[in-house]
Amino acid sequence: MTAVLAGRAAIVTGGSHGLGLEIARAYVAAGARVLVCARDADALARARSELESLARDRTSVATITADVAEPDAVEGLVGHAIERFSRVHVLVNNAGIYGPKGLTEDVSWDEWEHAVRVNLFGSVLCSRAVLPHFRENGYGKIIQLSGGGATSPLPRLSAYAASKAAVVRFAETLAEELRGTGIDVNAVAPGALNTRLLDEVLEAGPGRVGTSFYGRAVEQRASGGTPLDEAARLAVFLGSGASDGITGKLISAPWDPWEELPSHTDDLESTDVYTLRRIVPTDRGLSWS
């Protein structure tokens, strides 16, 4: 990977394992300075050791233990990144959890609420914390990791589905608030990943997640799922200057021709391509007077 992020600094939340760690690896390989946060201090230490071994300069990698659902922790996270790197260019909101699995009326309300706090509130809090710095510098990139719940119902995973749909609409809304400021906001649909979230589904079993979803998870585990590096490469693109002006979009790592998007910026700005929208009868060839 070429050093397309040389001179840039990024915050990657939930970066101690899975996709977050893969994105952090890709950012380091692309020349970025990276601050990774996670709640698990031991996993974070292992991630830091690996990232330092990949970096051209060990000082370009930093970590901090933080819970993105806690406002004070988020303020400390962003403050530490600015203090460490002087300038931050990219925020990758990757931290997320499935939350409770089961029928909405049966699952723990505390667990349901906690999933929304991590997935939605965590993304909003991190964005709020970094925006004054981005506005001051007239530039910034916010990259939100989406999930399957953003574009289709996920029975028995209602907290995850609702929160992931919400973060995509939040990204679209924030992008509109920031038009003309030099700050781009986009969401990434990473595809079906074989991470520990998949392990949770398989461990929960068909009784809690439903036979259909469980069956798809079994097939995904056997097939290998979408490679993590596809979403990581898209995250690098969206954090680089090549994506300047592309904002307010939900982009699929495995399915969309995202490398070609710089040549379609006028169409992207003037249409609702790659956005969440309501389907009306005429969209399906129906005429209901």
Closest CA to 167 of 245, 252, 243, 94: 94
Same domain for 47 and 110, yes or no, is: yes
Give the E-state strand segments of the chain in sequence order.
9-13, 33-38, 61-65, 90-93, 140-145, 183-189, 249-252
Same domain for 264 and 137, yes or no, is: yes
Predicted structure pTM score: 0.95
What is the count of structural domains for the chain?
2
160 in catalytic set: yes
How far is it, in rounded angstroms, from Cα 126 to Cα 72?
11
Same domain for 247 and 219, yes or no, is: no
Residues 41-64 pLDDT 10s: 999 999 999 999 999 888 899 999
Q: List the catalytic residue out of 98, 160, 214, 274.
A: 160
Same domain for 98 and 198, yes or no, is: no
Same domain for 94 and 201, yes or no, is: no
27 part of a folded domain:
yes
283 part of a folded domain:
no
Same domain for 94 and 218, yes or no, is: no
- What's the mean pLDDT when you consider all of the chain? 94
User: What tokens does 47 get?
Assistant: 């991630």
User: What tokens does 67 get?
Assistant: 């819970």
Q: Which domain holds residue 213?
A: 194-225
Residues 220-235 pLDDT 10s: 889 888 888 999 999 9
How far is it, in rounded angstroms, from Cα 221 to Cα 114?
27
Q: Is the pLDDT of residue 72 over 70?
A: yes
